Structure 1
């Protein structure tokens, strides 16, 4: 009896969460290739995260890794890495299920709890909006001649402040992942607000501001403008990403309809 109930619950979860398998498929690639790309990006971002954590501590004079996790850039990059590992494994499981000839291919996340399902979707939301925000803020406010001063800084800034947005665009354009839930917009704003708290905790505990524009003594009244501006920027990026995904879904659906008519 218990086994029957569990089977019914698993079947219900499978039907109610991503029944069209949008999270693990692409209009441009097969599930196997998509899994391979996502896992390649996962290992590449993992290498970069570790490399940029260790290098300053061991090769830069007076360098340290103590402030690594105080930078929003690094936190969002770790998020990208985590997402590609999570989505890559889920996509691989779906591809394997498809190759095994299952009547209805599935992936593990469909059978997991709703909290984990929501967190996966929220993680997706952050990695398609935060990296774009990071790129804009960095090149508009923070970049300088020192950005490409050494091979290390060149590599770090290109990957974390340019390729980060390329990873986001890959997921937005080339996968079948659906529209961003509007509920996630205020959640991302709250996450950004939480990071501001992290920045000031860093100043109190380590004696520096991760970003100069968060220094109230230097910025004065401009500080509120920067904080509000970043929040508004996140909202605008969210809406633009939502619209691009909507457009992608429309184009893909139209393309499929034409193929079905010809067939």
Structure 2
């Protein structure tokens, strides 16, 4: 797969289709896997919402709606929509050799890259905070609760790891870490809005009476922000290592769409004739 780096100044932000290809899976298979991930996450979210609405002893659907103020749930919705969007882009690339993403304005292409950074960083933060701070045991006596928490606090990181390891994405711009911290700050504001409007703290460590005071809360918030930045740096390193191992050492530059390879061959033939 050849591409002219100068063409990226005029054409798509991602001229070699790194967001739609894998070094291991053909584009059609990658699209199918992403679609399956999206379906599983959407089904989980909707089933949990319906279950809570029907089984909450107090509040019913109103109480079930409170889940939308939890960072875990919001990031899980983010994963669902990311895999749905990524599946569409990958499927169009597999079918035509040109991804739907290529037709988007450059600003939306950059936002898709930022979307990728959120779904490859936030799930690890959620998993670490939940199992390291919030979960105290014993294991859930109700099978539904066990499945829900494993899906939202463990498999979420598995989905993120898939995108990091299996796709051909390159390391993302370091400015993304600033964007991620801004998003965390906005969520913190949402959490305290929920305290005012709904009368409860989303997480116990945000409650001064349980955490030990405002100073401890500030330390938790700062620690999570630092952890987010560190996770982003680690993800960048893993992506770089994957590129080095698969493309430089193993020569596995990627699985491309047939239409893309044919167009590349025609371009090479025309160039040789000229």
Match of 2:51 in 1: 55
Pairwise CA distance, 1:152:
1.4
In the alignment, what sits opposite 1:246? 240
Is 1:122 matched with 2:114? yes
Q: Distance in 1 between matches of 2:24 and 2:163?
A: 11
- Corresponding residue pairs, total: 241
What pairs with 1:146-185 in structure 2 (closer than 5 Å)? 148-185=140-177
The gaps in structure 1 that reach 5 residues or longer are: 1-10, 98-104, 259-263
When structure 1 is superposed on structure 2, of 19-28 and 113-122 the one drifting more is: 113-122
Residues 186-219 of structure 1: CA distance to partner in whole angstroms, max 9, x if unpaired? Answer: 0000100110000000010001111000113332
Match of 1:90 in 2: 89
Q: 1:256 aligns with which of 234, 251, 254?
A: 251
Q: What is residue 191 of structure 1 aligned with on the other side?
A: 183
Contact 1:83 1:124 in 2 (8 A): yes
Give the structure-2-normalised TM-score: 0.84
Corresponding residue of 1:5: none
Q: CA deviation at 1:52?
A: 1.3
The residue correspondences of 1:1-263 to structure 2 (distance < 5 A) are: 15-62=11-58, 63=60, 64-97=63-96, 105-145=97-137, 148-219=140-211, 220=213, 221-253=215-247, 254-256=249-251
CA distance in 2 between partners of 1:12 and 1:248 (Å): 23
Of structures 1 and 2, the one with the larger relative CO (CA 8 A, separation 6+) is 2
Aligned CA RMSD, in angstroms, stands at: 1.7
**Structure 2 gap ranges (5+):** 1-6, 254-274
